[in-house]
C-alpha cells in the first residue's frame, strides 16, 4: 500500500510539473523546499473532487516566510507574468505585494487549457508569508478570480 501511495504521489508530481513546464515558477514546486518546515506545498492533479468542481486539471500552492522567500519567488512570478494576457498587480514600498496573471492558454489533447498565476506577499501581517497559487483547466477568467476570492474570505 505504501508503494502504491508513493507511486501515485510521484505521478501527480510529474503531471503537475508537466503542466507548469516552460514557467519560471515551476522551479519552486515539486518538493524543492520540502526540507524547510516553514514551507507548505500542495500539488493536485487527476480525479480530485475540488478540481472537478472548479473545472481544473492542476492546482499547486506554495506558502513560505516572506523574509526568506519573497526575494526568490518575486522575480519568477514577474518573469511568468511578463507573458500574461491579463493582469492585476499591486506594489508597495517597491515590492510586489499582489499579482493575478492570466497566462497564455495552451492546447493539450485537443482542448484549450487556461492558466492562472496568483501571488501575494503579506509582509505586513502578523506572520508574514509569500503565497503562490498556480492553476489551470477549462475554468474561465471570471471564475478564476471568484475561486481566488473565495479562498481568502
Give the Å distances, CA to CA, from 89 to 69, 92, 99, 118, 120: 19, 10, 4, 10, 10
Q: What is the pLDDT of residues 99-151, one digit of tens each?
A: 999 999 999 889 999 999 999 999 888 899 999 999 999 999 989 988 988 87
Other beta carbons less than 10 A from residue 95's beta carbon: 13
In this prediction the pTM is 0.83
Nearest-5° Cα angle at 95, 129 to 143: 65
Q: How far apart are CA 137 and CA 144, in angstroms?
A: 10
pLDDT band for 7, please (50, 70, 90 cuts). very low
- Please name every residue paired with 125 in a beta bridge, in sequence order, or none if there are none: none
Report which DSSP code applies to 39: -
Residue 2 has pLDDT above 90, yes or no: no
Amino acid at each position: 500500500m505504501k508503494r502504491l501511495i508513493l507511486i501515485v504521489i510521484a505521478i501527480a508530481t510529474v503531471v503537475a510539473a508537466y503542466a507548469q513546464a516552460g514557467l519560471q515558477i515551476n522551479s519552486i514546486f515539486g518538493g524543492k523546499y520540502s526540507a524547510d518546515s516553514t514551507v507548505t506545498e500542495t500539488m493536485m492533479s487527476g480525479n480530485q473532487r475540488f478540481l472537478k468542481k472548479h473545472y481544473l486539471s492542476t492546482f499547486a500552492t506554495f506558502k513560505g516566510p516572506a523574509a526568506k522567500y519573497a526575494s526568490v519567488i518575486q522575480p519568477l512570478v514577474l518573469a511568468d507574468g511578463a507573458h500574461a494576457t491579463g493582469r492585476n498587480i499591486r506594489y508597495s514600498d517597491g515590492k510586489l505585494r499582489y499579482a493575478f496573471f492570466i497566462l497564455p492558454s495552451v492546447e493539450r489533447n485537443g482542448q484549450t487549457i487556461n492558466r492562472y498565476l496568483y501571488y501575494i506577499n503579506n509582509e505586513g501581517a502578523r506572520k508574514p508569508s509569500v503565497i503562490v497559487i498556480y492553476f489551470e483547466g477549462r475554468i474561465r477568467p471570471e471564475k478564476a478570480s471568484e475561486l481566488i476570492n473565495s479562498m481568502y474570505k
